[in-house]
Structure 1
Amino acid sequence: MSLRNLLLFVFIVLLSYVCYVRAEQNPYARYIAASYSVIDRWSLVSPPDQELFDGAMDGMIEVLHKRGDEHSMFVDPQERDTFQEDLIQEFGGIGVRILELGDPPQLTVVGPPEPGTPAFSADIRAGDRIVAIDGQPTAEMEMRDALRLVRGEVGTPVTLTVIHPEEKDETDVKIVRAVINVESIYGDLRGEGNKWQFLLGADDRIGYVRITKFGDKTLDEFTDVLAELNSAGIQGLILDVRDNYGGTLEAAVGISDLFLRAGQPIVTTRDREEEIRDRFVSTGRGGYLDIPIAVLINHNSASASEILAACLQDYHRAVIIGQRSYGKGTVQRIMQIESGRSLLKLTSATYWRPSGKNIHRMAEAKESDSWGVKPTTGFEIEMDDDEYLLWRKYRYRRDLLGEQTDGPLAEELDSQNGGIPNDFRDEALDLAIEYLQSQMGK
């Protein structure tokens, strides 16, 4: 036997032994495989293999949920693409925002399509009623089904049958799908060309940046907006992460880094034994050290948004305004299974803020315990459920229609969601403006 073949034989033996030892360390893996084979061969009914596998995955995830891990999940092949689109911030589509408006409800284009999108080039207009998609009537169609039909592979066509505003006849509009980028950085209002405005109308010395999620492109989006605001000579900055459920750790760390000196720990992650697994430290390359910052949070600010708020609070780089955050301080790893056909989102660690305190709210945690992010003393905003829903409606309509409070779309939106008082004020935003005005020039 040649030396090469001998070495190969020894490697195979060692690898086989390692696999054997690992299997013996966790015999339940063999039990599951054996049970699967028994059901597949002997069961009176003949369930598809995919359904058996999905059921096993769902059952294991349910055990984690019962033990307090509500964030782990199994993403089956049907949901994988939608799940990944949320992280990578792009999908194949035409570039419209649609809602069900009117009585009876009809799919309606809300807001003008952004320039450069297929819908804009095809002369789709704000207020268009979509009565059919590829010949399928939309009356009584579920919104998720409508979105599934409109979206699709880049380069493929879709035909919308629409009724333009002030017209009665239906028009077929053929549109070729393209890559639609999902922005995660919003301003307060949309301006010319449907672009977000990041300077506040109330005081154009203050920048206002709303981070709606932390995705793969969020850091680049944020950096571009911050450079634009810096060129405009802003003297104060509002970061709004209300209702931000989180996203990627990298985006939260990257944005935090922009406002810190070099060498400051941003966040650490710890395993179930509370041993530090990763430590993320600032680089000092951001250059935005002097600008005063106000961060707006609420009870739905979670995960990555809590990392950002906690970091800026611990280093006294920002005042925190609003309500106590959600307390979702766990790390989820995304792993491909079934050769990439499905995904496993598995909680594997917890986030800890620079002060050494745990962000995560455990199942048995009390209100007096240390978790989440609390507003800075004197900057708490009390808000009951009704007040929160009113703010949500205000913010939603403002995103769709800007300052427009009349017209057919505004009337239909208000009739569906309830009216908003003309004197409504965003109390947290007003308090942030007041604080920054007191700090500017110091």
Structure 2
Amino acid sequence: MKQIIAFLFALLAVLPAGAQTDHDRHFDASKNMEIFTDIYKYLDLMYVDTLDANEVIGNGITAMLKSLDPYTVYYPENDVKNLKTMLTGKYAGVGSLIRYNQQLQRVVIDEPYEGMPAAEAGLKKGDIILSIDDTTMTDKDVSYVSSHLRGEAGSSFVIRIKRPSTGKVMKMKITRRAIQMPSLPYYGIVNDHIGYLSLTSFTENCSKDVRRAFIDLKKQGAKALVFDLRNNGGGSVQEAVNIVNMFVPKGISIVKIKGRLDRVNRDYKTTVEPIDTVMPIVVLVNENTASASEITSGSLQDLDRAVILGTRTFGKGLVQTPVDIVYNGQLKLTTAKYYIPSGRCIQAINYKHAHGGYVEHVADSLTHVFHTADGREVRDGGGIKPDVEVEPDSLPNIAYYLASARDSSEVMLNYVVDYIAKHPTIAQPKNFVLSDADYADFKARVLKSNFKYDRETEKYLKDLVKLAKFEGYYDDAKPEFDALQEKLKHNVAKDLDFNKGKIKQLLEADIVAAYYYQKGAIEQGLRYDKQFQEAEKVIDDSARYKKLLGKLKN
């Protein structure tokens, strides 16, 4: 017997440590699942109130997934359609943005999409949604109204709206269609030689749209390309690879997916001959450029094929896989990290799961050096660092409040709606400008509306006064504080004059979108776009462009 026991101890000593670890892990998982089931059994049996299993257990699932990372999400059967919309960009509805009007406390039409049922029926910005079929909408929120606007493709409904510019109540019959959210809202030629292309998401087949647009730009005479990926949150990895393949040779590894399971590992390579490998390209990025957008911009940087310009990208180096769950649910599950051509992973945050879970931003000092195809230094962790860093113009606080739903007077929306009613047509987007008389009219409306907003200087002054009182300096400095408070006194008229340029830009963009839709607003906005203007300078300076890519040596 002693010999057998000795043999078993010896066998345990030579067993792989991982086998014992896996056994412990599986035991812990099984134990905690039993504990969870037992706890819920007693809650359901004895808790003072009747429990909703979907809510209570659903909250438990949500909390479990939140302890991992923000991208691992469970979609029960009734929410699976939201996941499909996110992945494909498609849904069945009328094709319009809606918003809540704070002044009227009603949901209104904000921006119909070009060529979609809402626009074709004649709905306009500011129209107040009164009812959909026999259901009143005047006391409902945005999500409720949205759920009634959506439905099966081919189904019809009657919408009743009130047009604020005329006060007229109107009825329209609208037939829902399959709506493809535009991933490529605008492309065109700027200054006769620069092609511009704006991509807002990497949804299904978007690479085909980009391909067609780029070929068209070349036919129109484009000698260079500005590829705008700002605020593009990503999507399909394959679509990103297809787009990069337009500009780099066949057979190059663009992105490698590496996870715990061999079946999720994959090496995405370019598979077709490119369209153009020499045209100068500048890719615009910002802090909201993420995922597939970072694969695209990072790969073009690693292969020295494009200059990246803007601000550091989001830093999402994780890959999700949809998994079917029982009872027709789906789990969007983080299964791997991706690595772009230089070999780097640009994930900016480490998600730690021990002791309740926490997040840890990767410090620049902890990142590692990698090299592009021509030997330029690039780093992992923390997103894609642009070759040319250009901060966008900031939005003044007064402009932010005027344009946001926090303004209970809705003076900007009301002005735009009235302007549209008075002007059947306007100039082309690139030529449209509000006159000084128009802005004076807007200013008068703002002052009459008793518009108010929180000024940052006043907030900081209040904090400084509190600190001075706490540290005992306030009484001695009170006259200076009073004088400063008087100088910083709210003066909306002065602020409207000082920030006239920025506020006019917002008004012009809103007005142009009502006539020329999203593509018109983008085209009009390029005139004021600081980052786009710097991209033009880089393209027009051939020596600088080549030097940034390491093609010219000092």
TM-score relative to the length of structure 2? 0.63
Hey, what does 1:425 align to over in structure 2?
Answer: 528
- Number of residue pairs matched by the alignment: 396
Q: Is the 8 A contact 2:129 2:138 kept in 1?
A: no
Hey, what does 2:520 align to over in structure 1?
Answer: none
**Shift, 1:350, TM fit:** 0.9
Q: Is the 8 A contact 2:284 2:532 kept in 1?
A: yes
Percent of matched pairs sharing the same residue: 25
CA distance in 2, matches of 1:291, 1:389: 42
After superposition, the Cα gap between the structure-2 partners of 1:105 and 1:222, relative to the gap in structure 1 and judged at 3 Å, is farther
Matching of residues 181-196 of structure 1 within 5 Å: 181-187=180-186
* Partner amino acid, structure 1, of 2:254: I
Hey, what does 2:362 align to over in structure 1?
Answer: 365
**Shift, 1:264, TM fit:** 1.6
Q: Is the 8 A contact 2:224 2:279 kept in 1?
A: yes
Matching of residues 72-151 of structure 1 within 5 Å: 72-101=72-101, 103-104=103-104, 106-111=106-111, 113-115=113-115, 117-139=116-138, 141-151=140-150
Q: Is the 8 A contact 1:113 1:126 kept in 2?
A: no
Hey, what does 1:221 align to over in structure 2?
Answer: 209
After superposition, the Cα gap between the structure-2 partners of 1:176 and 1:384, relative to the gap in structure 1 and judged at 3 Å, is closer
Hey, what does 1:157 align to over in structure 2?
Answer: 156
| Cα deviation digits, residues 188-207 of structure 1 (max 9, x gap) | xxxxxxxxxx214x413222
Which deviates further from its counterpart, 366-375 or 248-257? 366-375
Q: Compare CA radii of gyration and give the structure with the larger one.
A: 2
Hey, what does 1:6 align to over in structure 2?
Answer: none
CA distance in 1, matches of 2:210, 2:399: 28
Hey, what does 1:277 align to over in structure 2?
Answer: 265
Q: Is the 8 A contact 1:199 1:205 kept in 2?
A: no
Hey, what does 2:40 align to over in structure 1?
Answer: 39
Uncovered stretches (5+) of structure 2, i.e. residues with no partner: 1-21, 351-359, 368-379, 404-411, 421-428, 454-495, 506-526, 547-554
**Shift, 1:168, TM fit:** 2.3
CA distance in 2, matches of 1:331, 1:80: 19
| Cα deviation digits, residues 10-55 of structure 1 (max 9, x gap) | xxxxxxxxxxxx9998343475267537734762245444345424
* Partner amino acid, structure 2, of 1:94: V
Match of 2:391 among 357, 360, 382: 382
Which deviates further from its counterpart, 312-321 or 97-106? 97-106
**Shift, 1:217, TM fit:** 2.8
Hey, what does 1:176 align to over in structure 2?
Answer: 175
**Shift, 1:337, TM fit:** 0.7
Q: Secondary structure at the match of 1:87?
A: helix
| Cα deviation digits, residues 335-369 of structure 1 (max 9, x gap) | 121242x2211111111121111211132411342
Matching of residues 213-362 of structure 1 within 5 Å: 213-271=201-259, 277-340=265-328, 342-361=329-348, 362=350
Hey, what does 2:196 align to over in structure 1?
Answer: 208
Hey, what does 1:12 align to over in structure 2?
Answer: none
Hey, what does 2:26 align to over in structure 1?
Answer: 26
CA distance in 2, matches of 1:276, 1:78: 27
CA distance in 2, matches of 1:113, 1:384: 27
TM-score relative to the length of structure 1? 0.77
CA distance in 2, matches of 1:286, 1:275: 29
After superposition, the Cα gap between the structure-2 partners of 1:383 and 1:222, relative to the gap in structure 1 and judged at 3 Å, is closer
* Partner amino acid, structure 2, of 1:436: I
Q: Is the 8 A contact 2:183 2:206 kept in 1?
A: yes
Match of 1:58 among 53, 56, 62: 62
| Cα deviation digits, residues 143-200 of structure 1 (max 9, x gap) | 222211111122222221112464322112121211111111122xxxxxxxxxx214
CA distance in 2, matches of 1:72, 1:113: 31
Uncovered stretches (5+) of structure 1, i.e. residues with no partner: 1-21, 188-197
Q: Secondary structure at the match of 2:197?
A: strand
After superposition, the Cα gap between the structure-2 partners of 1:367 and 1:298, relative to the gap in structure 1 and judged at 3 Å, is same
Which deviates further from its counterpart, 142-151 or 126-135? 126-135
* Partner amino acid, structure 2, of 1:344: L
* Partner amino acid, structure 2, of 1:302: A
After superposition, the Cα gap between the structure-2 partners of 1:85 and 1:274, relative to the gap in structure 1 and judged at 3 Å, is closer
Segments of 4+ in structure 1 off by > 6 A? Answer: 22-25, 273-276, 387-394, 414-419
CA distance in 2, matches of 1:279, 1:112: 40
Task: Choose between structure 1 and 2: higher helix proportion.
Answer: 2
Q: Secondary structure at the match of 2:209?
A: helix
Hey, what does 1:19 align to over in structure 2?
Answer: none
Hey, what does 1:4 align to over in structure 2?
Answer: none
* Partner amino acid, structure 2, of 1:382: E
Q: Is the 8 A contact 1:40 1:49 kept in 2?
A: no
Q: Is the 8 A contact 1:265 1:354 kept in 2?
A: yes
CA distance in 2, matches of 1:49, 1:73: 19
CA distance in 1, matches of 2:76, 2:108: 31
After superposition, the Cα gap between the structure-2 partners of 1:354 and 1:275, relative to the gap in structure 1 and judged at 3 Å, is farther
Match of 2:540 among 434, 437, 440: 437
